[in-house]
Chains A and B, each alone.
Chain A
Amino acid sequence: MAQQLTIFVENRPGRMKSVSDILLENHLNIWAFTIQDRGEFGLIKVVVDRPEQARLALADHGFACALKDVLAVTAADKPGNLDKLTTALLDNDVNIADAYGFVTPNDRQGMCFLEIKNTQGVDLEVVVAAAGFTVVKDEELYET
């Protein structure tokens, strides 16, 4: 599964930059990111090409951070596709804890990352495929 790195940062100028600085120093490529704001602090969530290396680099600089498996799903950029996906997940009692998505402008490809509470132990790949979407495979995401 895709890995998401979550980083604790205080909400003050320069903190986002200190994270991007470290990622740059280590030549890490960012595929997606989002920030959750909680006033005094926030959580930065990033998906990068080499997650473990990113985690170690940030931890070395004193950041509190953690890696977590997330579901990376691609879909055609068409109205109703998100609804189709959420319906399929609901039908299987899968709870979405957090999600973020975007469309790549050139090839009009939709992509989303989902943090899943999969208490029933459902085979997510099967569920997603049955709805007509694709779970991005590790070998497509990461160099092995």
Chain B
Amino acid sequence: MIWKEDIETMPLEDLKNIQSERLVSLAKYVYKNCPVYKKKFDNAGISPADIKGIDDITKLPFTTKIDMRDNYPFGLFSRPRTDLVEIHVSSGTTGNPTLVGYTRDDIALWSDVMARTLCCAGAEPDDTIQIAYGYGLFTGGLGFHYGALEMGLTIIPTSSGQTKRQLKIMQDFSPRILACTPSYALYMAEEAKEIGLDPRTSTWEIGIFGAEPWSESIRAEIESEWNMLATDVYGLSEIIGPGVSQECQYKDGLHIYSDVFYPEIINPDTGRSVAEGEDGELVITTLTKQGIPLIRYRTRDIVSLTTEACRCGRTSPRTSKIKGRTDDMIVVRGINVFPSQIEHVLLGIDGTHPYYQIIIDRQSHKLDSVDIMVEVDERIFSDEIKKMRELEGRIREEIQAVLSVGVNVKLVEPKTIERSMGKSKRVVDKRSL
């Protein structure tokens, strides 16, 4: 079924009218309610009156992760704090995390786009869904929760982890739908075999996987291991959380809900739009959000976009799977990690700035491991084993606190980390995603 059939199958011209109306109101709304945006408009020499339709969107300034950081915590909001009913936090590049907040209407919007997402993946109202995304500050768990609630599914909010229990719950309550990260789906398959459970006999028929990049080969592996349909969901907390776009059963691109999240694909260097079908950075404008609406937010995700009609009947444009990033963000166990965060921690260790290298690996059907190699130079060296051990522990704890991901710290000898062009190669990603 299609959740919002009138909107989701609307001819593109009609959709454009809705987008135009919404952009005109949005420009006025943020200019009036958010001093940061007023200043951005003024600096760009743009007045809300210049925005007469969706095609005028290119006149508006971009919003970036730096804007989020610089205006932390509430500077980019267009509503007072008291209007917010929920806030979520994700990792920022350095220093401040990224804060987002929702008004009651924003939660309704999130519920709606997540209900669309679940339907798009193939959920039916009588279904039971096992939500194995983390619940908490991470938007994954609660986003799925709200959508499933909206749709009237039976929710099993297992959150992430406790794999044996996940499997037992699946066997006992027969959910047809599983939502988690793709790497966790593979990990669970391995655990299932270990306890003598054939993954192919599971009750899960549809998987909704996201929060980390994954390839067609991982999809093929999940589908054959679990005997299920594996679909890709996309989202980011700055825009709403999960529920920005989702694949239908044809798995031919992710339908983006462009009546509320208007997509543009730009050349990240020039900022200009690229031709349809070409790769570029995905830029999203939240047309109807109230709490923290964002104008032309640069996701740093590289995708292509097509407006060709899909066999499922939905008319909204489809993006490709994420093909890369414009920055050095890496996703580990569903959590965004920036090398700069690690650098920041190391810099805080006695003000030194040692060479380091991050090695990310995933043994087949295992969760990602993060090894941080830190060169012990004269400045952080101590001739007491106790102090070296303390240093190791301190680096590990501080990095874990910043990243919310468990890491191993390995102290290595000076000059053992490979230098390329004078700079150390900071991230070695050994995973086959």
Contact = CB atoms under 8 A, between A and B. Distances in A.
A64 B385 contact: no
Interface in A93-135: 97-98
A9 interface: yes
A114 B389 CA distance: 21
Given A10-B413, A64-B376, A64-B414, A38 B381 contact: no
Contacts of A59: 378
A41 B388 contact: yes
B123 to A, nearest CB: 47
Contact of A62 (B382, B410, B413): B413
A62 B385 contact: no
B416 A10 contact: yes
Contacts, number: 49
Contact of B389 (A6, A38, A45, A64): A38
A7 to B, nearest CB: 9
A8 B376 contact: yes
B412 A65 contact: no
Contacts of B6: none
Contacts of A36: 385
Contacts of A10: 411-413, 416
Given A8-B376, A10-B412, A64 B384 contact: no
Interface string A40-51: 111101000000
Given A6-B383, A38-B389, A64 B413 contact: yes
A62 B414 contact: yes
Given A8-B376, A10-B416, A64-B377, A41 B383 contact: no
Contact of B381 (A42, A45, A64): A64
B415 interface: yes
A6 B376 CA distance: 13
A86 B141 CA distance: 61
B383 A43 contact: yes
Contact of A43 (B378, B385, B410): B385
Interface string A72-110: 000000000000000000000000011000000000000
For chain A, give the interface size range.
20 to 34
A65 B383 CA distance: 7
B373 to A, nearest CB: 10
A62 B419 CA distance: 14
Nearest to B375: A64
A59 B415 CA distance: 11
Nearest to A9: B413
A66 B381 contact: yes
A42 B388 CA distance: 9
Contacts of A97: 384
A41 B416 CA distance: 13
B385 A8 contact: no
Contacts of B388: 8, 38, 41, 43
B415 A65 contact: no
Nearest to A15: B413
A68 interface: yes
B378, B410, B413, B416 — most chain A CB neighbours (10 Å): B413
Contacts of B415: 62
Interface in B137-180: none
A40 B381 contact: no
Given A64-B381, A65-B381, A66-B383, A40 B376 contact: no
A63 interface: yes
Interface in A3-34: 6, 8-10, 15
Contacts of A98: 384
B392 to A, nearest CB: 8
A8 B416 contact: no
A16 to B, nearest CB: 12
A41, A42, A98 — most chain B CB neighbours (10 Å): A41
Interface in B380-420: 381-385, 388-389, 410-416
A66 B378 CA distance: 8
B414 A40 contact: no
Nearest to B383: A6
Nearest to A36: B385
Contacts of B376: 8, 41, 64
A10 B411 CA distance: 8
A68 B383 CA distance: 8
Contact of A41 (B377, B411, B414): B411
26 contacts: A6-B383, A8-B376, A8-B381, A8-B388, A8-B413, A10-B412, A10-B413, A38-B385, A38-B389, A40-B410, A40-B411, A41-B410, A41-B412, A42-B385, A43-B383, A45-B383, A62-B415, A63-B413, A64-B377, A64-B378, A64-B381, A64-B414, A66-B378, A66-B381, A68-B383, A98-B384
Interface of A: 6, 8-10, 15, 36, 38, 40-43, 45, 59, 62-66, 68, 97-98
Given A41-B410, A62-B414, 16 more contacts: A6-B383, A8-B381, A10-B411, A36-B385, A38-B389, A40-B411, A41-B412, A43-B383, A43-B385, A62-B415, A63-B413, A64-B377, A64-B378, A64-B413, A64-B414, A66-B378
Interface of B: 376-378, 381-385, 388-389, 410-416
